[in-house]
Amino acid sequence: MSESTQELDALVHREYQEGFVTDIESDTLPPGLNEDVIREISRRKNEPEFMLEWRLEAYRKWLDMPEPNWAHINYSKINFQDISYFSAPKNPDDGPESLDEVDPRLLETYAKLGIPLDEQKVLAGVKGANIAVDAVFDSVSVRTTFREKLAEAGVIFCPISEALQDHPELIKKYLGSVVPQADNYYACLNSAVFSDGSFVYIPKGVRCPMELSTYFRINEMNTGQFERTLIIAEEGAYVSYLEGCTAPMRDENQLHAAVVELVAMEGAEIKYSTVQNWYPGDEYGRGGIYNFVTKRGACRGDRAKISWTQVETGSAITWKYPSVILYGDDSVGEFYSVALTHNMQQADTGTKMIHIGKNTSSTIISKGISAGRGQNTYRGQVKILRGADGARNYSQCDSLLMGDQCGAHTFPYVEVQNKTATLEHEASTSKISEDQLFYLRQRGLSEESAVSMIVNGFCKAVFRELPMEFAVEAQKLMDVSLEGAVG
Amino acid sequence: MLSIKNLTVEVDGKEILKNLSLEVGSGEVHAIMGPNGSGKSTLANVLAGRDGYEVTGGSITYLGKDLTELKIEDRAGEGLFLAFQYPVEIPGVSNIAMLKAAVNSLQKYRGEEELSAGEFLKLIKEKAAMVEMKQAFLQRSVNEGFSGGEKKRNEILQMAMLEPTLAVLDETDSGLDIDALKVVASGVNALRSPERSMIIVTHYQRLLDYIQPDFVHVLAEGNIVKTGDRTLALELEERGYSWIEQQVAKG
Ligand SMILES: Nc1ncnc2c1ncn2[C@@H]1O[C@H](COP(=O)(O)OP(=O)(O)OP(=O)(O)O)[C@@H](O)[C@H]1O
Ligand SMILES: [Mg+2]
């Protein structure tokens, strides 16, 4: 019925709540990209020589690569010379030793975002949240909490720029080992210019005593954020890691091209959760973040397990396929995704599960929600190689449409080279039904709460994979994303 | 409590209810019977305010208010409850979460405090026991994978939780086995009170053995064509509807 379509349409009009700009003095490189810029980034970070060489090698490869245009998305091309590749808040040269040394406006920014950088406050926190945080502001990490406590357990959790100083051998060994430099256009660019990001190392047999998380914030105008995250879980280790991201509202598009690499050795488990809430642009499609991200994990040992859980509500364009390469026998890959697009947002997201070892198994649960004129594409690949006897995959892709101007598209690719493999695929496309809305409203719920309840129910299979605190956060985020709907 | 006067309702441009009038006083239980397609569910939907049911004539006054002016959820807030002929499934939303949201929405509408988690749990345990519903059903998604009878029982649980002033039960007895029927009936009877009125749509007189109505109405082709006491239901059971239709035709 057209009346309620309008109402649903109105439902997606909401304000982006994290859209403020922090007025802070920063040290930003002028826009432009060439070898000198890369040398300058490396110099400012006081990097070892091998790192600079690595960056330059990536840059030279990148120059020869064509920009991809195969994803189901439309956007105006990026001029890579208009972007600034490094921006840092002006700060004492060496990183802050204590909170007193962090610019109070920065602390305020993170407080506004609800991210605790004060360990005392976290400890005293009502929720009793047991979370260590690495906060990345534009190109640099401004604060990492609970490092001492983690160090006691042997866990390394620090900005990757610092790991380059303190643990160069680990970086040398693992950086680019899962996502090679020339893997794709944006990963290659990232390899050349990456600024900061988190580094996590969990030694053999250690269960990381707390949740680790990184919050990324783009503040400066015309800067790109190119963070690089590397997580290594040695034999039998376990870690749960969460990233969250926000940016101010700006009329220009900003580029975010991250690379995340996960390495899980024998019997290790890495749980990687993302709540992505970059600025999505306005209702006419002005501004917003281009979120072009490469995320991949490698189960290098038997019985290793990697789970990706993502809740994607922000960004003008999202283009990411967190993947798992299942080398070890009996290793497990999981992908749980909720992607919400409204107004003019576009998302092309999914996963790749590459089965190499015997009895490997993977699960894919994807929930796409499209509202307004949002376009939502699931693109997934399941590949069973010759030696992967007894490999199993279960895929489920559900789309929920709100209104009649949005779109949902599903592209599941399957390649099976081993006859003993079993694959199951389920897909559905539905609309929020009038019947469901009427039913809930008859019970007293406002239209807005009814829609939110139905949408949250639709996402349940994914939300329950998130760490508790973040499941609540994700649910709230969905509510906010659908706020102001009913008019 | 409820006064329907000369109500005419169109769905998709087709006139379904024609000049229908019905008065329901406080504490009264009215049964509505009538052949398939006569407009019983339409009446229930119009009362609840479903989109697409257009009132083209007449009036509905409920507790002194023009019901047609109120939004769906506000009607619920005013104490109107509809037990659905076909309860809707809501995947991923647990029964208990839905009920909590519903109870608290009504509290809010009435300007009262939300129930604490403890109060709510106590209440739902009590009511679930009343309709003999196992705790496991509370954690399951609303109506998803419920059998026909379980869905109906769930409607009665919701009614018991929301304690309506006017409850409209649309064929809640259809598809129930004898034991379930008794449970539903006793649930309904437990809620009977001088302040609470009910409209019970049914095809079977056997429900009326358990829930004794004050009035029985026959709805045919969009209008109430006969009203009597519960003996009318017995007569309908024996003779069907054709004799009434003939009477009406004769004028
Ligand atoms: N959207 C619609 N467009 C046209 N006719 C409709 C529509 N909805 C309902 N009707 C018609 O209205 C009439 C009354 O339907 P209603 O569901 O109220 O009947 P009922 O008395 O509840 O029947 P039953 O005993 O089978 O439940 C039926 O003839 C039905 O086909
Ligand atoms: Mg009916």
Give, to the nearest 10 degrees, the angle between helix B117-130 and helix B95-109.
110
Q: Does ligand 1 have an atom closer than 6 angstroms to the CB of B11?
A: yes
DSSP labels, B118-142? HHHHHHHHHHHHHTT--THHHHSEE
Is the Cβ–Cβ distance between B219 and B225 less than 8 Å?
Answer: yes
Q: pLDDT value at position A200? A: 94
Q: Does ligand 1 have an atom closer than 6 angstroms to the CB of B51?
A: no
Sign of CA dihedral A43, A44, A50, A56: negative
Backbone angles phi, psi at A259, to 5 degrees: -130, 130
Is the Cβ–Cβ distance between A184 and A216 less than 8 Å?
Answer: no
Three-state SS at A43: helix
B55 membership: H or E segment, kind and range: strand B53-62
Largest Cα span, chain B: 61
Query: 3-state SS string over B182-222?
Result: HHHHHHHHHHCECCEEEEEECCCHHHHHHCCCCEEEEEECC
**Ligand 1 atom closest to B35 (CA):** 25
**Are A441 and B109 in contact (CB < 8 Å)?**
no
**Are B88 and A436 in contact (CB < 8 Å)?**
yes
Distance CA A278, CA A254 (A): 10
Is the Cβ–Cβ distance between B36 and B30 less than 8 Å?
Answer: no
Nearest to B235, CA basis, from B221, B218, B219: B218
Question: What 8-state DSSP symbol labels residue B69?
Answer: G
Q: CB-based contact (8 Å) between A430 and chain B?
A: no
Query: 3-state SS string over A234-303?
Result: CCCCEEEEEEEEECCCCCCEEEECCEEEEEECCCCEEEEEEEECCCCCCCCCCCEEEEEEEEEEEECCCC
Q: Does ligand 1 have an atom closer than 6 angstroms to the CB of B153?
A: no
Nearest to B101 among A4, A442, A449 (CB): A449
**Residue A209 C-beta-side C-alpha neighbours within 13 Å:** 11
Three-state SS at B156: helix
Q: pLDDT value at position A93? A: 45
Is the Cβ–Cβ distance between A397 and A429 less than 8 Å?
Answer: no
Q: pLDDT value at position A117? A: 55
**Are A444 and B76 in contact (CB < 8 Å)?**
yes
* Protein residues near ligand 2, an ion, with CB under 5 A: B 40-41, 85
Pocket test for ligand 1, best of B14, B85, B170 (most atoms within 8 A of CB): B14
CA angle A311, A319, A333 (to 5 degrees): 60
Nearest to B102, CA basis, from B190, B161, B170, B142: B161
Q: Count of residues for chain B?
A: 251
DSSP labels, A76-128? PPP-TTSSB--EEE---SSPPSSGGGS-HHHHHHHHHTT----HHHHHH-TT-
Q: Does ligand 1 have an atom closer than 6 angstroms to the CB of B221?
A: no
Distance CA A367, CA A456 (A): 11
Q: CB-based contact (8 Å) between B114 and chain A?
A: no
Nearest to A272, CA basis, from A208, A225, A183, A220: A208
Q: pLDDT value at position A375? A: 81
Domains, chain B, with CATH or none = 2-250 (3.40.50.300)
Sign of CA dihedral B69, B71, B76, B78: negative
Distance CA A366, CA A363 (A): 10
| Structure token pair of residue A95 | 């990183």
| Structure token pair of residue B148 | 């026909």
Nearest to B62, CA basis, from B110, B9, B24: B24
Q: pLDDT value at position B131? A: 87
Nearest residue in A to B82, CA atom: A442
Is the Cβ–Cβ distance between B32 and B208 less than 8 Å?
Answer: no
Q: pLDDT value at position A223? A: 62
How far is Cα of residue B124 from the mean position of the Cα atoms in its chain? 20
| Structure token pair of residue A278 | 């970059």
Distance CA B192, CA B204 (A): 20
For A225-277, what is each residue's pLDDT tens digit?
788 999 999 999 999 988 876 655 555 667 778 899 999 999 999 999 888 77
Distance CA B197, CA B189 (A): 11
Is the Cβ–Cβ distance between A248 and A279 less than 8 Å?
Answer: yes
**Ligand 1 atom closest to B219 (CA):** 21
**Are B51 and A446 in contact (CB < 8 Å)?**
no
Q: CB-based contact (8 Å) between A436 and chain B?
A: yes
Q: How far apart are the first and last CA of chain A?
A: 16
Beta carbons within 8 Å of B153's beta carbon, 6+ residues apart: B131, B132, B133, B180, B183, B184
| Structure token pair of residue A408 | 């949902």
Is the Cβ–Cβ distance between B34 and B219 less than 8 Å?
Answer: yes
Q: CB-based contact (8 Å) between A445 and chain B?
A: yes
Q: CB-based contact (8 Å) between B146 and chain A?
A: no
Q: pLDDT value at position A349? A: 84
How far is Cα of residue A382 from the mean position of the Cα atoms in its chain? 21
Q: Is A396 exposed, middle or buried (0-12, 13-18, 19+ CB in 10 A)?
A: middle
Distance CA A63, CA A73 (A): 23
Residues 69-88, chain B, touching A (beta carbon < 8 A): 71-73, 75-77, 81-82, 84, 87-88
Helix, strand, coil percentages (3-state) for chain A, rounded to 5, are: 25, 35, 40
Distance CA A459, CA A453 (A): 10
CA angle A217, A219, A223 (to 5 degrees): 105
Nearest to A436 among B71, B90, B97 (CB): B90
**Residue A167 C-beta-side C-alpha neighbours within 13 Å:** 19
Is the Cβ–Cβ distance between B181 and B206 less than 8 Å?
Answer: yes
| Closest residue CA from atom 16 of ligand 1 | B39
Residues of chain A with pLDDT under 70: 1-27, 70-73, 88-145, 216-224, 245-253, 285, 469, 480-487
Residues of chain B with pLDDT under 50: none
